């Protein structure tokens, strides 16, 4: 990495009037905001489907895109919906929070109408659709099968289905999906919609010199296509049920640890295939993103496994991960990759050694640096260049929330003194300035901290269910002051995107105004959002 910066803002948090952020106009506007402030990166959370608890880290599939993110207005432009199909729906009453329960009920009918029209109209998109299915069949067919059968059993997890379908039988499932072809096709077509919209948005970002940082959860959910179809990948019993599940030991977040419940991998079995399942997964993620944050990196060195059904995570123990062998095979198969190691949690020398051997940058969280009196490796003067600095992540309090609700007076005083915080400067802005000034090659700011929001805007509180993943910004929170402040950080601490600076200099010397037509190599929002429909 070169010295740079970016913003962590999940797609769901973007502002619009349909209840949840999407891959539509609001996403392109956000890219434009990053361009104006000379950022290099947009970091998102996992884009996969969400299940119980609405967490993007608990998905029905390690691959399938979250259909809540499909922009409905783009489907109008493409001729698959009418504006009245959208206007008639109440997607939520609070523009600052996502009502997932309501979205689950109201979006399905709208998307079913779009799928029906897509199948009826035909045209050029049909050939692209068939190509998409062929290219992605290895994960798309199992996902569509899983969801088709799952919906036939009132959306219950596979462990609660009738025995005939509880254990995967290819022929039986294929017959079932043929008998319920409308439901099966719905999942295929909506994944095509998602893929088209995401790839257009990514191309727009890349054309404007913004790179996307994605996020890959280390584990899959119990309630997932992978667990249903490939139980041999995990530690399971003769019936395919997990014998061990994932979590974390007791820590500052929870006195009993975190009981995630995800099945843990049978790493020796995976090693026999040269980690083929993981290689395909990572390869697909680099089709989606330019850089990839691997969640819970420490799990590749050692991981906390808990006997399935234990009362809490404190009953678990440490188990050995695949270590350096996994990353050696990955490099042999895929080459050098732009990966960020989420090395937070119980980090020992072995984890640090594994991170350093891979060469991946680790993460530094400024909030962890203050105890009111002593030095800490989480303070910026200790950050190595090969690292990514955050004030806090999606799992932490906002900077303002930490300062006002959690930090002691000693910790507040230490933070203010450490940063030479001037009178009137918000604590959140001072802490952002601290990581911007650090030696870390990359500084990433959460949108909540840039907006100086309290804990009501917190994205996730670990070890809790309910009330998470809901925060949304509103369009009026974009302001000239916000843009100027972020641009000033980029310029003051030498984190400006060099490609954007070069482009700006070229425009100045060529007397090209900002109103001039885009170059042949650049693309506009309209190029990506509105498709030609002459075939229809």
Task: Give percent of the chain with pLDDT exceeding 70.
Answer: 95
Kindly report the average pLDDT of the chain as a whole number. Answer: 94
Mean pLDDT calculated for residue range 19-46: 98
Average pLDDT for 412-423: 96
Q: Please state the rounded mean pLDDT for residues 273-294.
A: 98
Q: Quick one: pLDDT at residue 509? A: 83
CB atoms within 10 A of CB 56: 22
Candidate from 246-255, 272-281, 305-314 with smallest mean pLDDT: 246-255
Q: What's the predicted TM-score (pTM) here?
A: 0.94
pLDDT tens, 174-230? Answer: 999 999 999 999 999 999 999 999 999 999 999 999 999 999 999 999 999 999 999
What pLDDT is stored for residue 338 in this prediction?
97
The pLDDT value recorded for residue 512 is: 52
Tens of pLDDT, residues 56-92: 999 999 999 999 999 999 999 999 999 999 999 999 9
Q: How confident is the model at residue 476 (pLDDT cuts 50, 70, 90)?
A: very high
Calculate what percentage of the chain has a pLDDT beyond 90: 87
Cβ atoms of residues 39 and 28 within 8 Å: no
Query: pLDDT by residue (tens digit) across 363-394?
Result: 999 999 999 989 999 999 999 999 999 999 99
pLDDT above 80 (res 499): yes
Active-site choice (85, 223, 305, 342): 342
Nearest-CA neighbor of 282 among 333, 238, 328, 349?
333
Check pLDDT > 50 for residue 432. yes
pLDDT tens-digit readout, 343-364: 998 889 999 999 999 999 999 9
Q: Which of 294, 314, 319 is nearest to 217 (CA)?
A: 294
CA dihedral 165, 170, 172, 177 (to 10 degrees): 90
pLDDT of residue 535: 41
- pLDDT tier for residue 255 given thresholds of 50, 70 and 90: confident
385 in Cβ contact with 439 (< 8 Å): yes
Q: CA–CA separation, 319 vs 343, rounded Å?
A: 17
Q: Given a cut of 50, is residue 242 above it in pLDDT?
A: yes
Catalytic residue among 78, 226, 295, 441: 295
Active site residue 488: no
- What is the DSSP annotation of 90-157? ---S-TTB--HHHHHHHHHHHHHHHHHHHHHH-SHHHHHHHHHHHHHHHHHHHHHHHHHHHHHTTT--
Per-residue pLDDT reduced to its tens digit, 458-475: 999 987 888 999 999 999
395 in active site: yes
Coil vs helix vs strand at 43: strand
User: Average pLDDT, stretch 493-510?
Assistant: 90
Question: Is 266 designated active site?
Answer: no
What is the pLDDT, as a whole number, of residue 72? Answer: 98
What confidence score (pLDDT) does residue 205 get?
98
Task: Please tell me the predicted confidence (pLDDT) of residue 465.
Answer: 83
Given a cut of 90, whether residue 312 has pLDDT beyond it is yes
The answer to whether the beta carbons of residues 293 and 216 sit under 8 Å apart is yes
Burial label for 332, CB within 10 Å (0-12, 13-18, 19+), is exposed
pLDDT of residue 533: 43
Q: Which residues contact 86 (CB under 8 A, 6 or more apart)?
A: 18, 72, 73, 76, 110
Tell me, letter by letter, the H, E, C secondary structure of 447-461: HHHHCCCCHHHCCCC
CA 306 vs CA 62, 82, 249, 342, 366: distances in Å:
22, 50, 9, 21, 30
Burial of residue 230 (CB within 10 Å: 0-12, 13-18, 19+) is: middle
266, 378, 395, 503: the catalytic one is 395
């Amino acid at each position: 990495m070169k010295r740079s910066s970016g913003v962590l803002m999940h797609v769901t948090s973007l502002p619009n009037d349909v209840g949840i952020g999407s891959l539509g106009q609001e996403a392109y506007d956000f890219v434009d905001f990053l361009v104006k402030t000379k950022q290099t990166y947009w970091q998102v959370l996992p884009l996969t489907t969400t299940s119980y608890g609405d967490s993007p880290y608990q998905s029905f599939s390690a691959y399938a895109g979250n259909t809540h993110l499909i922009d409905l207005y783009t489907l109008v432009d493409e001729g698959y919906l009418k504006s009245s199909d959208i206007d008639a729906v109440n997607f939520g009453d609070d523009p600052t929070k996502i009502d997932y329960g309501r979205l689950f009920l109201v979006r399905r009918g709208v998307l079913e109408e779009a799928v029906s029209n897509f199948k009826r109209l035909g045209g050029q998109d049909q050939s692209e659709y068939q190509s998409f299915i062929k290219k992605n069949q290895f994960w798309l067919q199992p996902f569509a099968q899983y969801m088709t059968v799952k919906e036939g059993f009132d959306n219950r997890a596979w462990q609660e289905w009738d025995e005939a379908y509880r254990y995967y039988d290819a022929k039986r499932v294929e017959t079932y999906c043929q008998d319920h072809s409308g439901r099966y096709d719905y999942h295929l077509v909506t994944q095509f919609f998602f893929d088209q919209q995401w790839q257009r948005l990514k191309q727009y970002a890349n054309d404007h010199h913004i790179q996307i940082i994605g996020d890959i959860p280390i584990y899959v959910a119990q309630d997932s296509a992978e667990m249903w179809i490939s139980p041999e990948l995990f530690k399971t019993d003769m019936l395919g049920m997990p014998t061990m599940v994932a979590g974390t030991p007791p820590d500052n977040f929870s006195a009993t640890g975190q009981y995630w419940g995800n099945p843990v991998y049978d790493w020796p079995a995976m090693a026999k295939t040269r980690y083929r399942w993981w290689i395909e997964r990572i390869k697909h993620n680099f089709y989606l993103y330019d850089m990839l944050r691997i969640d819970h990196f420490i799990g590749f060195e050692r991981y906390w496994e808990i006997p399935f059904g234990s009362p809490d995570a404190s009953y678990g123990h440490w188990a050995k991960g695949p270590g350096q062998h996994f990353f050696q095979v990955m490099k042999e198969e895929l080459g050098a990759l732009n990966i960020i190691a989420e090395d937070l949690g119980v980090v020992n020398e072995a984890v640090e050694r594994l991170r350093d051997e891979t060469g991946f940058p680790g993460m530094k969280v400024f909030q962890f640096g203050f105890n009111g009196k002593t030095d800490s490796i989480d303070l910026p003067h200790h950050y190595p260049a090969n690292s990514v600095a955050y004030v806090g992540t999606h799992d932490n309090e906002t900077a303002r929330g930490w300062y006002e609700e959690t930090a002691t007076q000693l910790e507040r005083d230490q933070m203010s003194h450490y940063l030479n915080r001037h009178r009137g400067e918000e604590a959140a802005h001072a802490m952002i300035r601290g990581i911007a000034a650090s030696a870390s090659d990359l500084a990433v700011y959460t949108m909540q901290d840039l907006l100086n929001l309290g804990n009501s805007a917190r994205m996730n509180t670990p070890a809790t269910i309910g009330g998470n993943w809901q925060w949304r910004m509103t369009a009026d929170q974009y302001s000239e002051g916000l843009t100027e402040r972020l641009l000033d950080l980029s310029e003051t601490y030498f984190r400006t995107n060099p490609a954007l600076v070069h482009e700006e200099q070229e425009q100045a010397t060529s007397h090209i105004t900002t109103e001039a037509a885009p170059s042949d190599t650049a693309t506009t929002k309209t190029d990506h959002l509105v498709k030609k429909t002459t075939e229809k």
